[in-house]
Structure 1
Amino acid sequence: MRYFIKLAYNGTNYHGWQTQPNAVSVQETLEKALSLLLKNKIEIVAAGRTDSGVHAKEMFAHFDFEEAIDGDYWIPKLNSYLPKDIVIYSIFEVNAEAHARFDAIERTYEYHIHSTKDAFI
């Protein structure tokens, strides 16, 4: 069965979305938590990738798992395994051919450029 995950993250502590050697990524962190909880190696495919330090207010990704997953049950557990800067909002079953990257209908990017030092950024 294929599942979509709706998530958000603050990318400050990550070297982007995609797993890479010698650097911590959002994908790696999420895959480790899911694999631990579901007791299977889980690989995730995202709708897109972000660079080092970039945040995502709303990101979708998918993964395959042979058993039924009740999102209402697993979301709090998964969020408790994840660091505070990664949040899962929903997990839902989709068609086995659905693809988070290639079936996306829209992507929106916002760029915020600050030219002065700000203690709250």
Structure 2
Amino acid sequence: MTQRYFIYLAYNGSKFCGWQIQPHDPSVQECIEDALGKLIRTPTPIVGAGRTDSGVHAQKMIAHFDYTGEAPLDTTNLCRKLNIMLPKEIAIYDIVPVKPDAHARFDATARAYKYYITEKKDPFNFDFVYRHGTPLDYQAMNEAAKRLFDYEDFTSFSKLHT
């Protein structure tokens, strides 16, 4: 019997070429597939809710995989073992069984992106914040942002026909 599972995870993408497997660079997908395949003793492709670029982080990512086995997976134990095997930059929060037709990418109902900008140099957040070397004009930035409320159609920022 085949069972589909959702994996809830997060990662610091600084050391990865992105989510998707690439020929010569380490990816988040590759790391998880390798560890998962070793633990359940069969190659196990995973499908992510989206694909981040090189150096991009994800706080709340969902992926899915299918497992065919005699007995259901012990997801608590699998989650614990994956976290032991995976590099410190990847955390698995939970693994849950879902309906066979549930899809991490196509069933996603929302995506959110956060961008952090600072004027100050900070040795503890350089992987997560863009440092703008000159003073920012917050009033001008807020005025520009207000103009977004004049629009309702943002399809030009979307991938069409997917």
Aligned to 1:49: 51
- Matched residues in 2 for 1:17 and 1:115: separation? 29
How far is the alpha carbon of 1:69 from its aligned partner?
Answer: 1.2
Aligned to 1:5: 7
Q: What residue number does 1:74 align with?
A: 78
> 2:116 maps to what in 1?
112
Amino acid of the residue matched to residue 76 of structure 1?
Answer: R
TM-score normalised by length of structure 2: 0.71
Residue in 2 that maps onto 1:97: 101
**Over the residues paired in the alignment, what is the CA RMSD in angstroms?**
1.2
The one-letter code matched in structure 2 to 1:23 is D
**Long gaps (5+) in structure 2:** 127-162
Q: Which ranges in structure 1 are unaligned for 5 or more consecutive residues? A: none
Once residues 100 and 39 of structure 1 are traced to their aligned partners in structure 2, the CA distance between those partners, rounded to angstroms, is 23
Residue 31 of structure 1 corresponds to which residue in structure 2? 33
CA distance in 2, matches of 1:111, 1:72: 33
Aligned counterparts of 1:109 and 1:69: Cα–Cα separation in 2:
33
Query: Of the two structures, which has the highest relative contact order with CA contacts closer than 8 Å and spacing of 6 or more?
Result: 1
TM-score, normalisation: structure 1: 0.95
Taking a change above 3 Å as real, the CA distance of residues 57 and 14 of structure 1, as seen in their structure-2 partners, is same
1:60-89 C-alpha deviation (Å, 9 max, x unpaired): 000001131121121111110101110000
Q: How many residues align?
A: 121
How far does residue 116 in structure 1 lie from its aligned partner after superposition? 5.5
* SS state at 1:61 partner: strand
Q: Decide whether aligned partners of structure 1 residues 77 and 105 sit closer, same or farther in structure 2, where only a CA change above 3 A counts.
A: same
SS at match of 2:10: strand
1:23 and 1:115 map into 2 onto residues whose CA distance is: 32
